Amino acid sequence: MIRLKFTEMAKILITGSADGLGQLSAKSLADQGHQVVLHARNSERARYAKQKVPGAEHVISGDLSDLDETINVAYGANAWGRFDAVIHNAGVYQTPTREIFIVNTIAPYILTCLIQKPKRLIYLSSSMHLHGRANLENFKNDYPRISYSDSKLHVMMLCMAVARKWSDVYANAVDPGWVPTKMGGQGAPDDLQKGYETQTWLAVSNDSRPKVSGRYYYHLAERRYNPQAGDVMLQERFLSLCRDITGVPFPQ
Ligand SMILES: NC(=O)c1ccc[n+]([C@@H]2O[C@H](COP(=O)([O-])OP(=O)(O)OC[C@H]3O[C@@H](n4cnc5c(N)ncnc54)[C@H](OP(=O)(O)O)[C@@H]3O)[C@@H](O)[C@H]2O)c1
């Protein structure tokens, strides 16, 4: 059992917290006495999320496959003032490529840009990002051929760009492992608790270890990431394409 040293109460937003790792992270943080704001795709899922995490403070609704709704999620979050941590957790896997692109790549970009800068940002990536391609030439296609692995590389690129540009924020990424959630499937071999422990540790721990930026973790240990994520030219091109598609500039 790993002993974690936590801060006093923190205010944390977790996207996609109606189910899976988002819900488990939210429960764990709320049980520790932190102020947790949930997020769900619509009002029905929001009610479900609140039932599952009764200790949470509030639920913001908004479908991250819709750009306007995603912008409204950011405004809804800002109504709560500055968060100590935002966990960009929501994601989709076996869905049409356009939905993968919008939910996994574009929504975290919009939310990062529009939510008042928190002290800590945590991005849920995946070991599958190691096989991803930046695929930037596909961004402006109506039906972008962006795979799940590509989208999880984009999340890494976004995280590393934020870490480079915002020196006052700790921005890090997590591979939760292949765990038995709705996305991972019942036969997933990894430990479910370890699947959310790293994000909650990065969000609130008072240890010195998580007070870093631009790192990628698996089960509390740092791992190497795809070098494309650290390529500054690719990051800049990525940010400028995201700006063109969404109309939302990246705040410097
Ligand atoms: N499970 C794994 O093995 C694994 C491995 C590597 C990385 N990850 C990453 O870990 C994160 C969490 O995955 P998980 O396993 O917990 O998946 P999950 O059980 O499928 O949960 C995903 C969450 O995201 C929400 N979501 C999906 N699309 C949304 C949309 N358009 N608008 C708003 N919310 C939306 C879902 O809402 P609903 O419940 O309403 O559908 C759900 O709450 C993801 O980013 C995933 O890529 C997971």
Q: What is the pLDDT of residues 60-79, one digit of tens each?
A: 999 999 999 999 999 999 99
What distance in angstroms lies between residue 204's CA and the mean position of ligand 1's atoms?
21
When pLDDT is averaged across residues 226-235 and rounded to a whole number, the result is 98
Rg for the chain, CA atoms, rounded = 16
Would you state the structure tokens that stand for residue 84, as one six-digit string?
Answer: 């100590």
pLDDT of residue 1: 40
Would you state the structure tokens that stand for residue 242, as one six-digit string?
Answer: 């995201």
Mean pLDDT score across all residues of the chain: 95
Helix (H, G, I), strand (E, B) or coil at 6: strand
Q: What is the pLDDT of residues 208-220, one digit of tens each?
A: 888 999 999 999 9
Which of 87, 95, 182, 186 for a ligand 1 pocket mutation test, highest count of atoms within 8 Å of Cβ?
182
- Tell me which residue has its CA closest to atom 11 in ligand 1: 89
The residue type of 229 is A
What order do you get walking across the sheet with 58-61 strand by strand?
A: 58-61, 35-40, 11-14, 85-88, 120-124, 170-175, 215-218, 221-222
Q: CB within 6 Å of ligand 1 — which residues?
A: 16, 18-22, 41, 45, 63-65, 89-92, 103, 124, 126, 176, 178-179, 181-184, 188
Q: How far apart are CA 39 and CA 36, in angstroms?
A: 10
pLDDT of residue 98: 93
